[in-house]
């Protein structure tokens, strides 16, 4: 690189010895930080500063124009903040550094190459000094007039601790109208941890082929840094993105019973990849990673300071570790069931007294909604909020109408399918599991339909639907039953579409596969005309509800959103530069997901974690999600329209539009409005940067990103034919829309209603502990059932400890953080820097506000009986905006909880 040929160095006033414009060269810079890993950022529209005038100036006498170039004064303002928890750690050394002016070293990088040498122009360097304003630093540069646009700023943190940098603003010649802002919102590590400087690029986005020449090498080096070398254990301050299999859920060294299979990398247990931590392996199983300390997450993926302080970065972990041990002595026995339904109701009225010596203040911080001060006393109780569905109708959970309605407008509206073939048959091997044909006969269905339709006529009219958990669960029945206080069946539930557009459950089949000692058992239950059949029907519904609850949590929620999205995040950070427009489009949709996934591996889905303790699959929970991934997951059908068509809930007309099979299907109706809005936004955005299909196919970063998603992130499905090929703008738009939909609308639909629907646990029990009393027809069980059927139901439901564990967890998981960012609400600074993108986003935001109104109209339309009626909770899970807390509405950009 050519050095500036100055007769003497320029020294800023008051900073003796800090040479500006010197020949100091930067080492290979570290990569740019992710957006919003810390405090919220400002959003302004800026353009790249161009320093373009050139002239001569005399310095200390007559100097020729050939040797001296006019220098322009550029002032930089840095808005920064240390980590709150570390604000006073090692302040002594850092305060001395601030006094000496060695705080943040800034280097300006030109977007242009030197026209004479063809090399990168000399970077201009200055120290930023702390000001009297907390968190603000200022620097002054003398920059050659021919420097050209500043395309990047490198930062070296001279402090001993990391610093969060919100933005860097440059002003040339005191003209504030020329101010340009570099949107940083990232943690900058201490140089004592890593000597590599951080780089923050201009707000203007560039495809690889359009990258300014002065930034090309920096763009490549940044990606190399983010990829790492695949070796060693990752440290907390690092920003390395790499892949690994799920081999860290168990801990056999500490407890042999916590041995769990490795998920991913095998035909038996296919699975998406997670972020590599590089920890050592256990002694008892060299394939399993040791669970030492917290799971590594790249620094910019951590929760923000706001989320840590007001919501709690470790809310789930601390809530379970602090609250549950405190409750165990109060509940006497973990296996204790609720003696009656009024005792369950007491959880929402009287609550559970909390002894003062158990650390109440810590609990109140973790779960403030649930800890109440008893009126006129100093005592505190754990008292749960009344879920909306129980508040509106205390007995709705007991009725068939609500049981059916929730398949369309509940927490898991993704599994109901059109029944297309009869008789119903299993695809499992009958030699292993028993006869394949269902016990649900034509006679049973026609009797229950009671409308003079034959099964064939009902099939042709698309009026029969099925919730089918038979084949996916049947292989696990005997395994689950080997666990204490747990049972399982394979189940099928058939529904009939009434003339009013509602579903009516017709029959439930429960199946136990054959075993070495017993034949296959299966029985069909209907809502019969006598008390015994009516109660057996209620018990069968409880089994189906727990099947649906387990599938929802492990597949519809964890697998299809959290787990399958993580490879997209890793690949995007490894292959798409921060300058890439696709990275900048997707990045808001990846906020906090890796952190919440790491927390889930630590406390939720791990061996003996919350899911294993309180959900029926127990130790087979995540393994079961692996089986579902191998059997059912396809990227193309993660797109909402394709998913609806696949399940027979919609048909595609000749004009390409979708027609819903069930007109009043709230999830599909509202979801398609959100999908169409996202797709239009993606199309407008892509159109700004890609002027042809050839430009998409020729983009090396984009192609590398998608190749890595397929062959590494989802390597166990890399050869499937359904993967889209990104060779046209249309295919790119569809792919981006699918990713954005899964991280926003899909996740919101299955997450933020968890407390509303599961907070009263009999509505969605997470486990059933007893078999149907008619399975073995034991005299003692039948006698108890006939004498007290309600007691039989209570015996089947979760224990007090299981119920309170789940209710507490669902309250936490259903909550919106105060710094939540909703779809269409806030534009990224890089979007505002491009007028056409800014206009497209404003239209997108307007559409999302219109959807709010459409949802309200539907919820107040008495003709739509699946979302409006006596005691019915309005369907608002896909209503775009929300206030903080547990609201049952709101579509955040990302999977942030």
Q: Specify the pLDDT at position 42.
A: 39
pLDDT digit string (tens) for 322-362?
A: 566 666 666 655 568 899 999 999 999 888 777 665 555 55
589 pLDDT above the threshold of 60: yes
| For residues 867-880, average pLDDT | 96
User: Top-level CATH class of 305-388?
Assistant: few secondary structures
Alpha helices, DSSP H, located in 369-510: 388-392, 400-409, 430-433, 442-449, 455-460, 477-481
CA–CA distance, 27 with 52 (Å, rounded to integer): 27
CB 770 within 8 A of CB 796: yes
Q: Who's near 507: CB < 8 A, 6+ residues apart?
A: 440, 444, 445, 448, 493, 494, 524, 525, 526
Only one residue has tokens 């620097």, namely: 139
Q: What is the DSSP letter of 330?
A: G
Fold that domain 71-202 belongs to in CATH: Lipoxygenase-1 (2.60.60)
Q: What letter does residue 867 receive in the DSSP assignment? A: T
pTM of the full structure: 0.90
Taking the mean position of all CA atoms in its chain, how far away is CA 438?
Answer: 38
Residue 87 has pLDDT above 50, yes or no: no
Per the CB < 8 A criterion, the answer to whether 620 and 480 are in contact is yes
* Tokens describing residue 642: 């394709």
Q: Where are the domains of the chain?
A: 71-202, 305-388, 389-553+765-799
pLDDT of amino acid 173: 84
How many whole angstroms separate alpha carbon 203 and alpha carbon 169? 12
pLDDT score, position 303 = 84
Phi, psi dihedral angles at 826 (to 5 degrees): -125, 130
What would the pLDDT profile of 143-202 be if each residue is shown by its tens digit?
Answer: 999 999 999 999 999 999 999 999 999 999 888 888 899 999 999 999 999 999 999 999
855 contact partners, CB below 8 Å, separation of at least 6 = 670, 875, 876, 878, 879
The span from the CA of 483 to the CA of 619, in Å, is: 9
3-class secondary-structure state, position 530: coil
Nearest to 883 by CA among 828, 823, 822, 827: 822
- Per-residue confidence at 61, pLDDT binned at 50, 70, 90? very low
How far, in Å, are 181, 265, 488, 650, 717 from residue 268 at the CA level?
Answer: 51, 9, 22, 33, 13
Residue 335, Cα to own-chain centre: how many angstroms? 33
Which residues does 336 contact at the CB level (< 8 Å), separation at least 6? 799, 800, 801
**Is the pLDDT at 884 greater than 80, yes or no?**
yes
Cα 764 from Cα 756, distance rounded (Å): 10
Residue by residue, DSSP assigns 607-644 as TTSHHHHHSTTGGGHHHHHHHHHHHH--SGGGSHHHHH
The DSSP result for 190-255, as a single string, is BTTT--SPEEEE-SS---GGG--GGGHHHHHHHHHHHH--S-S---TT-----EE-B--S--TTT-
Could you report the per-residue pLDDT of 657-689, keeping only the tens digit for each? 999 999 999 999 999 999 999 999 999 999 999
Q: pLDDT above 90 covers what percent of the chain?
A: 76
pLDDT over 90 at 691, yes or no: yes
How much is the pLDDT for 740?
A: 98
- Judged against a pLDDT cut of 50, whether residue 8 lies above it is answered with no
pLDDT over 60 at 716, yes or no: yes
Q: What is the pLDDT of residues 424-452, one digit of tens each?
A: 999 999 999 999 999 999 999 999 998 88
| Nearest CA among 84, 414, 316 for reference residue 815 | 316
- Three-state DSSP at 95 gives helix
The per-residue pLDDT for 48 is 43
The encoded tokens of residue 375 equal 């009126």
Q: How far is the C-alpha of 269 from the C-alpha of 652, rounded, in Å?
A: 34
Element (H, E) at 533: helix 531-551
Count of beta carbons in the 10 Å neighbourhood of residue 443 = 9
Contact 611/604 with Cβ under 8 angstroms? yes
765's tokens: 């029990």
What is residue 49's predicted lDDT score, i.e. its pLDDT? 46
**What is the architecture of the domain spanning 389-553+765-799?**
Roll (3.10)
Residues 6+ apart with CB under 8 A from 94: 103, 159, 160, 161
Cα angle for residues 73, 79, 85 (degrees, 5° grid): 150
- What amino acid positions are annotated as catalytic residues? 557, 562, 747, 751, 897
Q: What is the mean pLDDT of the chain?
A: 87
Predicted local confidence at residue 402, as pLDDT: 97
Report the C-alpha gap between 239 and 566 in whole angstroms: 15
Q: What is the pLDDT of residues 315-331, one digit of tens each?
A: 555 555 556 666 666 66
Contact status, residue 497 vs residue 465, Cβ threshold 8 Å: yes
Cβ-based neighbours of 770, under 8 Å, separated by 6 or more: 487, 792, 795, 796
pLDDT at 20: 33
Quick one: angle between helices 666-689 and 729-741, nearest 10?
130
The per-residue pLDDT for 189 is: 94
Q: What is the DSSP letter of 365?
A: H
- Residue whose C-alpha is closest to residue 550's, from 755, 770, 766: 766
Residue 28: predicted pLDDT = 36
Asked if pLDDT for residue 54 goes beyond 90, the answer is no
Query: What pLDDT, on a 0 to 100 scale, did the predictor assign at position 872?
Result: 95
CA-CA distances (angstroms) from residue 857 to 673, 867, 879? 14, 11, 12
- Going by C-alpha positions, the residue among 104, 222, 96 that lies closest to residue 163 is 104
Task: List pLDDT tens digits, range 591-620.
Answer: 999 999 999 999 899 999 999 999 999 999
CA distance 157 to 135: 13
* pLDDT (average), residues 806-834: 92
Radius of gyration of the chain (CA): 30
238 pLDDT above the threshold of 70:
yes
DSSP class of residue 546 equals H
pLDDT digit string, tens, across residues 379-396? 677 788 999 999 999 999
Element (H, E) at 860: none
Mean of the pLDDT values across residues 879-894? 95
Supply the pLDDT for residue 67: 54
b/e map of 769-808 (b: 16 or more CB within 10 Å)?
A: bbbbbbbeeeeebeeebeeebeebbbbbbbbbbbbbbbbb
What pLDDT, on the 0 to 100 scale, is given for residue 280? Answer: 94
For residue 342, give every residue at least 6 positions away whose Cβ sits within 8 Å of its Cβ, in sequence order, or none: none
Q: Report pLDDT digits (tens) over 204-223.
A: 999 999 999 999 999 999 99
Fold match, 71-202 / 389-553+765-799: no
- What pLDDT sits at residue 784? 94
Look up tokens 């300390």; give the residue: 293
Read off the pLDDT of residues 101-134 as tens digits, 9 standing for 90 and up: 568 999 999 999 999 999 999 999 999 999 999 8
Is-contact 507 526, C-beta < 8 A? yes
**pLDDT given for residue 7 in this prediction:** 30
Q: What's residue 818's pLDDT?
A: 86
Give residue for tokens 């004498």: 787
Output the DSSP codes for 158-194: -SSS-EEEEEEEEEETT-GGG-EEEEEEEEE-BTTT-
For 2, 177, 445, 692, the CA distances from 9, given in Å and listed in that order, are: 16, 29, 92, 49
For residue 348, is it left (φ>0), alpha (ψ between -120 and 50) or beta? alpha
């Amino acid at each position: 690189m050519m050095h500036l040929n100055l007769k003497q160095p320029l020294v800023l006033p008051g900073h003796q010895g800090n040479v500006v414009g010197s020949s100091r060269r930067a080492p290979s810079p570290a990569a740019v930080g992710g957006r919003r890993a810390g405090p919220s950022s400002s959003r302004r529209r800026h353009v790249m500063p161009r320093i373009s005038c050139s002239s001569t100036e005399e310095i200390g006498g007559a100097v020729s124009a050939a040797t001296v170039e006019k220098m322009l004064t550029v002032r930089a303002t840095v808005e920064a903040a240390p980590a709150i928890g570390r604000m006073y750690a090692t302040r002594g050394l850092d305060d001395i550094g601030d006094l000496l002016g060695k705080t943040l070293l800034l280097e300006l990088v030109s977007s242009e190459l030197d026209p004479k040498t063809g090399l990168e122009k000399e970077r201009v360097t200055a120290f930023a000094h702390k000001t009297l304003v907390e968190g603000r630093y200022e620097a002054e540069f003398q920059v050659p007039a021919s420097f050209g646009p500043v395309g990047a700023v490198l930062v070296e943190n001279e402090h001993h601790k990391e610093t969060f940098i919100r933005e860097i603003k440059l002003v040339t010649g005191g003209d504030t109208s020329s101010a340009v802002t570099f949107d940083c919102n990232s943690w900058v590590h201490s140089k004592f941890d890593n000597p590599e400087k951080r780089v923050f690029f201009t707000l203007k986005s560039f495809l690889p082929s359009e990258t300014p020449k002065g930034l090309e090498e920096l763009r490549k080096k940044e990606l190399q840094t983010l990829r790492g070398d695949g070796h060693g254990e990752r440290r907390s301050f690092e920003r390395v993105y790499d892949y690994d299999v799920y081999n860290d859920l168990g801990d056999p060294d500490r407890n042999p019973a916590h041995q769990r299979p490795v998920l991913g990398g095998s035909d038996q247990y296919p699975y998406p990849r997670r972020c590599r931590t590089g920890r050592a392996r256990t002694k008892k199983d060299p394939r399993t990673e040791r669970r030492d300390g917290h799971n590594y997450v790249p620094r910019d993926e951590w929760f923000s300071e706001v989320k840590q302080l007001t919501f709690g970065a470790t809310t789930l972990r601390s809530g379970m570790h602090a609250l549950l041990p405190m409750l165990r002595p109060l509940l006497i026995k973990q296996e204790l069931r609720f003696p009656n339904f009024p005792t369950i109701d007491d959880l929402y009225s009287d609550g559970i007294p909390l002894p003062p010596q158990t650390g109440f203040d810590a609990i109140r911080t973790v779960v403030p909604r649930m800890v109440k001060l008893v009126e006129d006393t100093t005592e505190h109780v754990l008292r749960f909020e009344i879920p909306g569905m129980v508040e509106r109708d205390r007995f709705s959970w007991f009725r068939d109408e609500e049981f059916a309605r929730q398949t369309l407008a509940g927490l898991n509206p993704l599994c109901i399918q059109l029944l297309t073939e009869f008789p119903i048959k299993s695809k499992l091997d009958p030699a292993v599991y028993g006869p394949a044909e269902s016990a649900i006969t034509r006679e049973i269905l026609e009797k229950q339909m009671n409308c003079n339709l034959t099964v064939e006529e009902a099939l042709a009219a698309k009026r029969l639907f099925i919730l089918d958990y038979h084949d996916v669960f049947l292989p696990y029945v005997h395994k689950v039953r080997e666990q204490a206080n747990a049972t399982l069946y394979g189940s099928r539930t058939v529904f009939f579409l009434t003339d009013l557009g509602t579903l009516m459950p017709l029959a439930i089949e429960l199946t136990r596969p054959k075993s070495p000692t017993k034949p296959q058992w299966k029985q069909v239950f209907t809502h019969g005309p006598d008390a015994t059949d009516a109660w057996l029907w209620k018990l069968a519904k409880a089994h189906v509800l727990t099947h649906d609850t387990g599938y929802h949590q492990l597949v519809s929620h964890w697998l299809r959103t959290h787990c399958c999205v993580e490879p997209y995040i890793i690949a995007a950070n490894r292959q798409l530069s921060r300058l890439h427009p696709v990275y900048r489009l997707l990045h808001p949709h990846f906020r906090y997901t890796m952190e919440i996934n790491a927390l889930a591996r630590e406390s939720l889905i791990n061996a003996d974690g919350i899911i294993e303790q309180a959900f029926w699959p127990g130790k087979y929970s995540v393994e079961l999600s692996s089986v579902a991934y191998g059997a059912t997951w396809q990227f193309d059908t993660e797109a909402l329209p394709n998913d609806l068509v696949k399940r027979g809930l919609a048909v595609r007309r000749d004009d390409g539009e979708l027609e819903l099979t069930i007109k009043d299907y709230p999830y599909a109706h509202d979801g398609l409005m959100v999908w169409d809005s996202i797709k239009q936004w993606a199309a407008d955005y892509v159109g700004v940067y890609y002027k042809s299909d050839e430009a998409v196919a020729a983009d090396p970063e984009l192609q590398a990103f998608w190749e890595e998603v397929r062959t590494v992130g989802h390597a166990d499905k890399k050869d499937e034919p359904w993967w889209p090929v990104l060779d046209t703008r249309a295919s790119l738009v569809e792919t981006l829309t699918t990713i954005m939909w899964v991280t926003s609308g899909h996740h919101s639909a299955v997450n933020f209603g968890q407390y509303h629907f599961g907070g009263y646990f009999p509505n969605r029990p997470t486990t059933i502990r007893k078999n149907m009393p008619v399975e073995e027809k034991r005299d003692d069980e039948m006698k108890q059932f006939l004498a007290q059927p309600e007691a039989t139901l209570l015996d089947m439901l979760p224990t007090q400890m299981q119920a309170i564990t789940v209710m507490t967890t669902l309250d936490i998981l259903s909550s919106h953080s105060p710094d939540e960012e909703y779809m269409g609400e806030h534009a990224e600074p890089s979007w505002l820097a491009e007028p056409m993108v800014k206009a497209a986003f404003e239209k997108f935001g307007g559409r999302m506000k219109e959807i709010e109104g459409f949802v309200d109209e539907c919820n107040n339309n008495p003709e739509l009986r699946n979302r409006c009626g006596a005691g019915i909770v309005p369907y608002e899970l896909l209503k775009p905006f929300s206030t903080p807390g547990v609201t049952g509405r709101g579509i955040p950009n990302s999977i942030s909880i």
